[in-house]
């Protein structure tokens, strides 16, 4: 089964209009392989500018724009929230859901995250569902239990067959922004567990679902990580704010 590679940039609450322009200009110089998708997820005020710039530079179907969050509500009195319809109207195609920063700082529960995945899928957006264990959970050998507890509510809510349209990002919390990357062996072992967990529900879906690794990915470690059998790309934080580094990371993605 051929799986595409996805390299997604999570700018978090960083970046500005200058970065929008610099990044798109830098990426427009690169000839990417057909089976690679590059998704840039800026803060929501920059979504329109990014979409406009990718059109202006004719970046083509390899590239897509993603949001970092979406509301589980359709519309209404939810000050500060952004709906799936608003994202669709801006030609946004992907949305990061359940990032560990949303789970911990904004107290998003697995049930709420499952609702968000559901509304995103119903709106034709591709969710990048983030899961991952804390340092203590890894140290106490709870990684698999934690990952299962983050995946199961989403499977229960949307149904396993819909996971063909979901991207899963495994981001160990202890590796995010710390410079402590999971070793490629550890990352592969955990990705394999995630694929097997999905396979218990549906083998065909498990073969197709792209699994991304996130957590201190950079231009030096990306090649080895992406070469692992069950790692189909990355969700990149800090290194996605530097156009030249990000280009190197995108070029290391080859598809499986
Ligand atoms: P860093 O690449 O900065 O560790 O961030 C990873 C991340 O959280 C991407 O969503």
When pLDDT is averaged across residues 99-116 and rounded to a whole number, the result is 97
Catalytic annotation, pick one of 101, 108, 133, 171: 171
Q: Is position 56 annotated as part of the catalytic site?
A: no
User: What is the full DSSP assignment across 146-186?
Assistant: HHHHHHHHHHHHH-GGGGGG-EEEE--GGGTTTS-PPPHHH
CATH classification number, 5-252, choose in 3.20.20.70, 3.30.300.30, 3.30.70.250, 1.20.1260.10: 3.20.20.70
The domain limits of the chain are: 5-252
* Dist. CA 166–CA 19, nearest whole Å: 28
The protein residue whose alpha carbon is closest to atom 5 in ligand 1 is 237
**Number of other CB atoms surrounding residue 232 within 10 Å:** 26
Per-residue confidence band for 255, with pLDDT thresholds at 50, 70 and 90: confident
The answer, yes or no, to whether any atom of ligand 1 lies below 6 A from the CB of 216, is: yes
- Provide the pLDDT for residue 1: 58
**Model pTM?**
0.97
When pLDDT is averaged across residues 213-220 and rounded to a whole number, the result is 96
CA 123–ligand 1 middle distance (angstroms): 26
170, β-bridge pairs: 131, 213
Tokens of 83: 């709906």
pLDDT at 256 over 80: no
Beta-strand relationship, 167-170 and 126-131: parallel
1 vs 47, higher pLDDT: 47
b/e burial code for range 177-187 (CB count within 10 A of at least 16 → b): eeeebbebeeb
pLDDT at 33 over 80: no
pLDDT at 237 over 90: yes
Indicate the SS3 state at residue 206.
helix
Mean pLDDT over all residues of the chain? 96
> What number of residues does the chain have?
256
Q: Is position 115 annotated as part of the catalytic site?
A: no
When pLDDT is averaged across residues 113-122 and rounded to a whole number, the result is 98
Choose one of 6, 68, 99, 176 to mutate for the ligand 1 pocket test, by most ligand atoms within 8 angstroms of C-beta: 176
CA 116–ligand 1 middle distance (angstroms): 21
- Provide the pLDDT for residue 220: 96
Backbone angles phi, psi at 130, to 5 degrees: -95, 135
């Amino acid at each position: 089964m051929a799986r595409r590679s996805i390299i997604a940039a999570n700018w978090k609450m960083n970046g500005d209009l200058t970065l929008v322009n610099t990044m798109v200009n830098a990426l427009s110089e690169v000839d990417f392989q057909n089976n690679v998708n590059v998704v840039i997820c800026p803060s929501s005020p920059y979504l329109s500018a990014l979409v406009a710039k990718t059109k202006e530079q004719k970046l083509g179907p390899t590239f897509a724009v993603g949001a970092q969050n979406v509301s589980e509500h359709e519309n209404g009195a939810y000050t500060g929230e952004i709906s799936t319809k608003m994202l669709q109207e801006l030609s946004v195609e992907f949305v990061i859901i359940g990032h560990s920063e949303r789970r911990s700082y904004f107290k998003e529960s697995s049930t709420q995250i499952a609702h968000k995945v559901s509304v995103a899928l119903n709106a034709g957006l591709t969710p990048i569902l983030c899961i991952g264990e804390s340092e203590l959970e890894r140290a106490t050998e709870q990684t698999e239990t934690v990952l299962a507890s983050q995946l199961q509510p989403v499977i229960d809510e949307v149904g396993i067959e819909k996971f063909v349209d979901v991207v899963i990002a495994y981001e160990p919390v202890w590796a995010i922004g710390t410079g402590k990357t999971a070793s490629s062996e550890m990352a592969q072992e955990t990705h394999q567990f995630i694929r097997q967990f999905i396979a218990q529900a549906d083998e065909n879906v498990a073969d197709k679902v792209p699994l991304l690794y996130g957590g201190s990915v950079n231009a030096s470690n990306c090649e080895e990580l992406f070469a692992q059998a069950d790692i189909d790309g990355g969700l990149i934080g800090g290194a996605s704010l530097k156009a030249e580094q990000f280009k190197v990371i995108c070029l290391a993605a080859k598809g499986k």
